[in-house]
Amino acid sequence: MDKFFITTAIDYTNDVIHIGHAYQKILADAIARYHRQKGDQTYFLTGTDEHGQKVETGAKKNNQDPKTFVDKIAKEDQNEWDSLNISYDRFIRTTDPDHIKFAQEFYLKAKANGDIYLAKYEGLYCEGCEAYLTESDLVENKCPFHPNFTPQKITEENYFFALSKYQKFLENHIKKNPEFIWPESKRKEILAFIKGGLKDFSVSRQGVTWGIPVPDDPKHTIYVWFDALINYLTYGIQKNCWPADIHVLGKDNQRFHAIYWPAMLKSAGYELPKTILVHDFISLNGQKISKSLGNVIRPSELVAKFGVDGVRYYFLRFGPLTNDIDISLDKIADSYNSDLANGLGNLVSRVAKMATGLEFKPGRLDKEKIYQEGLAQALSDFRFDLALQQIWLDIVAVDKHINQNTPWLVKDQDKLYRILEEEIEDIRKIAIRLAPFLPETAGKIEGIFTAKKIVATTPLFPRI
């Protein structure tokens, strides 16, 4: 049995997540479910990133201690992911005791390797990124990701990680391993950034108390990014499933994952992850999704409107895999009505209605064979949009087959039975192929057509 370990980025607990974060989790979930279905021993990790200045400030504003504050947000985040049927094996929190212990051990390993040193730092800090910026990062004197914050000038004595030492190593690794960063456009961006020269980065803060204490100098806390990245390894080592096969993350996190993290791992003596899958962003009605713009929608609100698989379908079919996309509730409703209500839902109702009252003996379907070559290829290329397009061609083919055989005109019961048996088997195969993407729907379809007596059902996707 093959091992397969996939992670998402862990969400920052200054606020509950919104639909801008949903794509990544749905994507990782579909990959994890596909590998489970293939029979791989699958590990799927998600969670929350809970330390740092922004949480400290957020808790203070709410007159709460930071732990009470993050407990509530972590719980709400988890409920949001549950509403989307995200099948994580562990929801890790960076305040979990096993992670704190492991992060400290990791820090000491990098230090023992001579890569952590004390130095004075003077520079710009973006509170939004919880990261230092250089002049070249700024767009109109602001952080490109957080134009609402003004970068602060900070002077502090901190511990630094000797990232510059790993410049050649990283360059070689990325050149030799084309699958290390996906897609290719992001791989090129990262390589160009590395060639521009890497600077050592701060791995501790003195002014921030809400963090993991630096084990051998506890007046410092470990810098929130250094702490957060280690979450993957906390779990990976515990479950003996390291290295990760895929880290899924958004493009705002790509430098941390493709540069800092592999250098940190190399320093502490661990293997590197195999693939870093970077996706782009969504905007809503032409606007960035943010609390300050007042356009935040929670995933559970979308699920209430379109059903869990209505939401999953839209994102997997049209999501921002390699390009930023703009979404709207109308666009989701259109795809729901045309592809789910009219396409898949209609086919299932139609066949179930014709088969009502008949008794079929459903055979076991061999899942491995059902992934015809094209679909398996699309999935291993991370082209979920193409995978769904192929499945929808299968749906059209069954519809066509029904129209050609006109079962509603067939008077002979044996002949009718044979025609429907064939359609039912084809639909069940479609359900198996759909299961990683639309698990709830796939389960319902299998339930309808393996029942002792098939009955006409209420529509899987009532029109909106």
Site for Zn ion in 329-358 (CB under 5 A): none
Question: How far lies 29's CA from each of 21, 43, 184, 405, in Å?
Answer: 13, 11, 22, 38
Is residue 146 at the binding interface for Zn ion, with CB under 5 A as the rule?
A: yes
Contact with Zn ion (CB under 5 A) among 9, 143, 222, 276: 143
Query: Of 21-29, 142-150, 342-350, 396-404, which part binds Zn ion (CB under 5 A)?
Result: 142-150
Sole window of 47-55, 122-130, 184-192, 204-212 interacting with Zn ion (rule: CB under 5 A)? 122-130
Residues designated catalytic: 18, 21, 126, 129, 143, 146, 288, 291
User: Least separation, in Å, of the C-beta of 21 and Zn ion?
Assistant: 16
* Residue 128 engages Zn ion in binding (rule: CB under 5 A): yes
Nearer Cβ to Zn ion (225/314): 225
Which of 265, 118, 133 has its CA nearest to residue 204? 118
Position 151 contacts Zn ion (CB under 5 A):
no
Strands 221-222 and 131-133: unpaired
- The DSSP string of 358-395 is ----PPP--HHHHS-HHHHHHHHTT-HHHHHHHHHHHH
Applying CB under 5 A, does 124 fall inside the site for Zn ion?
A: no
Stretch that binds Zn ion, among 21-29, 87-95, 145-153, 231-239 (CB under 5 A): 145-153
> Residues 129, 264, 302, 438: which binds Zn ion (CB under 5 A)?
129
Residue tagged 């002979």 (tokens): 412
Q: Tell me if 145 contacts Zn ion by CB under 5 A.
A: yes
Question: Please, are residues 201 and 163 in contact by the beta-carbon 8 Å criterion?
Answer: yes
110 binds Zn ion (CB under 5 A): no
Please, what is the minimum distance in Å from the beta carbon of residue 99 to Zn ion?
A: 24
Cβ proximity of 151 and 183 under 8 Å? no
Residue 318 sits in the site that holds Zn ion (CB under 5 A): no
Least distance (Å) between residue 54 CB and Zn ion: 11
Please calculate the CA angle 420-343-455 and round it to the nearest 5 degrees: 40
Residue 126, SS3 per DSSP: strand
Burial class of 172 by CB neighbour count within 10 A (0 to 12, 13 to 18, 19+): exposed
Interface with Zn ion by CB under 5 A: which residues? 126, 128-129, 143, 145-146
